[in-house]
Amino acid sequence: MQSSSSKPILSFWQLWNMSLGFLGIQFGFALQNANVSRIFSTLGANPDDLPLFWLAPPVTGLLVQPIIGYLSDNTWHPTWGRRRPFFFVGALLASIALFLMPNSTAVWMAAIVLWLLDGAINVSMEPFRAFVGDKLGPSQQTAGFAMQTFFIGWGAVIASLLPTIFTHLGVSNVPVGGAIPDTVRYSFYSGGAIYFLAVLWTVLTAKETPPDDMEAFRAEQRRTKGLGHALKEILGGFVRMPKTMVQLAAVQFFTWIALFAMWIYTTNAIGENVFGTTDAQSAAFQSAGNHVGVMFAVYSGVSALAAFILPILARMTSRKFVHMSCLTIGGISLFSIYAIHDLNMLFVPMIGVGIAWASILTMPYAILAGALPAKRMGYYMGVFNFFIVIPQIVSGLLLGYVTKYWFGGHPVKTLMLGGVCMVMAGALTLAVRDNADPVAR
């Protein structure tokens, strides 16, 4: 059976195999998002400097993703295929970095490993987005991205809970002599192993289809060979971006400012607002760190469940309407954390954030895939990442100043700002052109 684009309709288990690697990738991201601020704080970093340390992930993505996308578009190996070589190499390097991160003994060491970790994650993650466009026709693309979101959600649930799980197993959660707690160390070791094994599963079970005209592909490879031509192509693509991509850029800008504020400041916000401490060496602060891991697990679990509901809602309404609604719910939920001082009630806004996260990982990519030329899918997915990392860089440069001088050093107010930004992103979604929407045709 063929789709409208002549690509075969894949079975549930084929979608499963090609997406399972994202379970591992999300282990890396979730451990990073829930624990990096905690690690830096435990090692003695000034809270005002935390956004600067978090510049590593977006700057790395800014440099790596378009290059990896371009290279994977122009790669073909008879055994490894097009995208899978990058899956494998990135997973191997990321797993090594995950083992190194909790053994950092100084802030500068943790900062260097964070650069290495995020660079490696980007190498393996970027081709996964293009993989969906390669293998699936328009009728299955939303389902393909939803399956990735499912694994992202469950990977983040388990990874975020790991420090709490190890605490319940009797592992020490106390930093001794300024070192990273054993609960965090063992979590990163587990994450490193799972990252590699999950990506390896996809590498071994998901096959890739060679180019229709191999001779023409090889001729194009020879024509585009060389660093100068590669840079020209990479930079020139910005001028030729599809209109839909430009419109989604504004949505992504405000969305990712909100997410970056949440990832940087939730541990410190909950430590101050609920546990009554800003001392990173205290047991209370480390307990706040564990609780934030559980909160992040809740929003990730909700996103995994919502991933399969959103495509149904999108067929009933539109992808734009679903994304706008989810971002609005997430923004209001993030804003509400300011008023919550009960540990259990903190899980309620995470439900709304999880609904937004499911849509963030699914709808923009599904909308974008329908507007991209097939032979440049990897490159443009990499360029699209610019509109994720640029707001993160802006956040890294400005959120510390805003938190200190606008909000009197109270990080929970920065979470409120993130909520406002997410609602704004929802409103901007209405201006996006979706080629799958009958009204846009």
Residue 223: per-residue pLDDT: 61
Residue 2: per-residue pLDDT: 37
- Asked if 66 and 382 count as a contact pair (C-beta separation under 8 A), the reply is yes
Residue 320: per-residue pLDDT: 92
Residue 33: per-residue pLDDT: 78
| Domains, the chain | 11-225 (1.20.1250.20), 227-440 (1.20.1250.20)
Which tens digits make up the pLDDT trace of 12-28? 888 898 889 989 998 99
- Cβ neighbours of residue 164 closer than 8 Å, sequence gap 6 or more: 183, 290, 293, 294
Residue 1: per-residue pLDDT: 34
Which residue is listed with tokens 């709304």? 352
Residue 270: per-residue pLDDT: 92
Spell out, as residue ranges, where the chain has pLDDT lower than 70: 1-6, 57, 212-213, 217, 219-240, 373-379, 382, 436-441
Residue 236: per-residue pLDDT: 61
- Asked if 200 and 189 count as a contact pair (C-beta separation under 8 A), the reply is no
Residue 296: per-residue pLDDT: 86
Residue 98: per-residue pLDDT: 94
User: And the tokens for 217?
Assistant: 């592909």
Question: Which pTM does this prediction carry?
Answer: 0.70
Distance CA 53, CA 50 (A): 5
- Asked if 366 and 142 count as a contact pair (C-beta separation under 8 A), the reply is yes
Three-state SS for the chain is CECCCCCECCCHHHHHHHHCHHHHHHHHHHHHHHHHHHHHHHCCCCHHHHHHHCCHHHHHHHHHHHHHHHHHHCCCECCCECCHHHHHHHHHHHHHHHHHHHHCCCHHHHHHHHHHHHHHHHHHHHHHHHHHHHHCCHHHHHHHHHHHHHHHHHHHHHHHHHHHHHHHCCCCCCCCCCCCCHHHHHHHHHHHHHHHHHHHHHHHHCCCCCCCCHHHHHHHHHHCCCHHHHHHHHHHHHHCCCHHHHHHHHHHHHHHHHHHHHHHHHHHHHHHHCCCCCCCCCHHHHHHHHHHHHHHHHHHHHHHHHCCCHHHHHHHCCHHHHHHHHHHHHHHHHHHHHHCCCCHHHHHHHHHHHHHHHHHCCHHHHHHHCCCCHHHHHHHHHHHCHHHHHHHHHHHHHHHHHHHHHCCCCHHHHHHHHHHHHHHHHHHHCCCCCCCCHHHC
Residue 225: per-residue pLDDT: 58
**Sign of CA pseudo-dihedral 278, 356, 302, 145:** negative
Distance CA 389, CA 309 (A): 28
Residue 3: per-residue pLDDT: 41
Which tens digits make up the pLDDT trace of 298-307? 988 898 888 8
